[in-house]
Amino acid sequence: MCGITGWVSFHQDARANTPVIEAMTATLTPRGPDASGIWLGAHAAIGHRRLAVIDLDGGTQPMTDRSRQTVLSYSGEIYNHHELRAELRGRGHEFRTRSDTEVVLRAYAEWGRDMATHLDGMFAFAVWDEHEQRLLLVRDRLGVKPLYWAAVDGGLAFGSEPKALFAHPEITPRVDADGLREAYSLLFNTGPTVWSGIHEIPPGGLLTLGREGITERLYWELEARPSYDDQESYNDRDAAVERVRALVDRAARTQLEADVPRCSLLSGGLDSTVLTALLADELRLREGPDARIRSYAVDYSDQAEQFTGDVLRTGHDTPFAAEAGAFIGTDHSTVVLDPHTLLDPGHRQAVVVARDSPIGVGDMDTSLYLLFGEIRRHSTVALSGEAADEVFGGYPWFHNPKALAASTFPWLLVTGDEAAMPLHPDLAAKLRIGEFRDDTYRDALAAVPHADGEDAVEHRQREMQHLSLTRWLRQLLHRKDRLSMAQGLEVRVPYCDHRLVEYAFNTPWALKSYDGREKSLLRAVGTGLAPESVLWRPKNHSPATHHPDYNRGLQEMARDALAAHGGQVRDLADETRIKPCLDTPPEELEWGHRLRLERVVDLALWLDHYRPALTL
C-alpha cells in the first residue's frame, strides 16, 4: 500500500516547482515509509510514497512507460495481476518486474480508460499520459482506497489524503457551512468533503482531465440484476451457500499474497473467524501443515478484569477470539491496552491528523491506531473481516421492525442525537441538518436499484443493504485505511470483493436470513471452520473501555477543549448541552454522552492542527 499525489496544470511548467511536489509527497510518508519518488514533466508533477509489499526490489514508483509516454502512481493491490499479466503477455506486452504496479501500467497501454473494469482489487491510482496530455484518476469499486482532488490554476491536484493537497500553494484548509453539514450530519455522502473545494473520487469512479476540461463517470455500481450463470443459487439454499463459500474462499486465497509478513485481525466474531480459518487453511496448503498465521485481537485492561456492556456491546470478545485462535490453530495474541494510554494527547492528535477530520469514535479510534502500531512491529499486511455485516445483513437495523419502518438512515437510530456533538444553536439553525438529512434520505432511496417483482419485504431490505454498502461502509473503510496507513500497515478486506458483493446484493432476503438470524449464509459457510460458540454468538461491536479514570480524563480534556482557541470551539458547539456530560460522575457516564465529549476534544485538536479558515 502506498500514498499517491501530484498535480497537472496546463498554465504552468511543473518542472519549475520541484519543492511543491516534494512537499506534497512528504505528507504521505506514513502511508509509504519504504521509498519515495517524483516525476516532473512540462505540465504534470507526480509523487509517490511506497509501502513495499509485492516485488520489493522491482515495484518502485512513479513507474513510467517511455515508449508510450505514460507515468503511473498507484496505491493498492491487484489480486488478479497474475491472470492479467498472462493475458497482456499474450497481447504482446513485455514485463520487467513481478509487481502488480507494472500490470496496471500495461493495462492502461492496452485498454486505456476502460482498464479499470479488468482490475480486481483495492486501488487508487493516477496515470499521466504525456502524449495525450491527459490525467486519469481511478478508484476501486467499493472505495477501499481513498483518492481526493481539488482544482488549481489550469488543472487539478490530487492525493491519497487531503493533507497532501494542502501542501500545494493554491490549496488551503477552508471549511464552510456545507462542509460542516457534511461532517456532522453523519450521512457519509461520497463526493463532497468537510473541506471546501476538495472532492472525493467516488467508489467505482473515474475522472479524466484534459485540455478540454474535467469529465467524471462511474465504471461500476451496484445493480439489481442476478447473473444468468448464478440463477440457480438465487433460489436454492444449498446452492447459495456453496456459491458464497466459493466466493469468500476465492477472495481470501487471492488476498493472502505478499512478499512480507501477513496476519489476520481476529476479534472473536463470525466474520473474522471464518476469514481467519480460510486464510490459515490456504497458508498451510502453500507452506506446509505446520504453517501458522498470526492473529490479533485488542482489549482493555479494565474489560479483561471485568467486562462492562453498553448499548452496542453485549459480550466480551477476548475469550471468543482466544477460543477461535486455538480452534483454527493460529499464533494468536491479544493486545491489551491501558485505558490511561488512550488519554495521551500525542495519540489523540495522531488519530485526528490521520483522519483529516473532526469526526471519529473516540477511544475506539485511538485503540485501533495503537493496535495497528503493535501489529506493525511484526507484520506489514493484515486481513480484516470488514464489510461482512453490510454484505450479509448483520446489523440490527436489518432485523428491527422500528428501523425498517423509519424514514431515515438506520444508523441514526442506534444512539440518536445522544452521541452527536450538539452544535451551537446559531450554527444549527444555519446548517438545518434535519432538513438536509430528510432530503438526502429521499435522494439515497431514489438511487437504489430494484428488480422487477420484488415484494415489500425484499424491496425494503434491498434499500437497507444499498444504504449500508454505499454509505455506512464508506466511513468504516475510511477509518480502517487512515488509522492503519498512519502506522504503515496495509489492511485488506476480502468481504469487499466485488463479485461477492454483487452476488449477495442480489440474493433474496429469505436466503440471507433463512435461519431467522443475521448473516445466515456466512454462518453456514463457517460451519466446521469456527467454534459453535462463535458461530451463534450475537453481533458485537468494537470493544470500548469503561474505566472511570478514562471518563474522568476525557471530561477534563473536554473542559480544556471548550476553553481553547479563544472560544472557537464554543462558537461551534452547544456548551449548555455538553455541560451535563461534564458534570456526570465518571462512573455513570453513558457511552453516547461520552462520545459527545470525544467529538468536542477531537474538534479542538482538529482546529489546532489545521487552523482552517471558517467561512460560516
As annotated, the active-site residues are: 2
Single out the residue of 144, 149, 143, 112 nearest to residue 127, CA to CA: 112
Chain centroid offset of residue 52 CA? 20
Chain centroid offset of residue 212 CA? 33
CA gap 602, 352 in Å, rounded:
7
Q: What angle do CA 167, 172, 174 make, to 5 degrees?
A: 145
Q: Output the CA–CA distances (angstroms, integers) from residue 185 to 263, 357, 613, in the order listed.
A: 35, 14, 20
| Residue keyed to cell 470478545 | 317
Map residue 220 onto helix, strand or coil: coil
Chain centroid offset of residue 173 CA? 22
CA gap 603, 616 in Å, rounded:
16
Q: What angle do CA 31, 34, 38 make, to 5 degrees?
A: 80
Chain centroid offset of residue 310 CA? 25
Chain centroid offset of residue 111 CA? 28
| Burial class of 288 by CB neighbour count within 10 A (0 to 12, 13 to 18, 19+) | exposed
Q: What angle do CA 193, 194, 200 make, to 5 degrees?
A: 15
Determine contact, residues 7/152, Cβ cutoff 8 Å.
yes
Determine contact, residues 469/435, Cβ cutoff 8 Å.
no
Beta bridge partners of 129: 70, 134
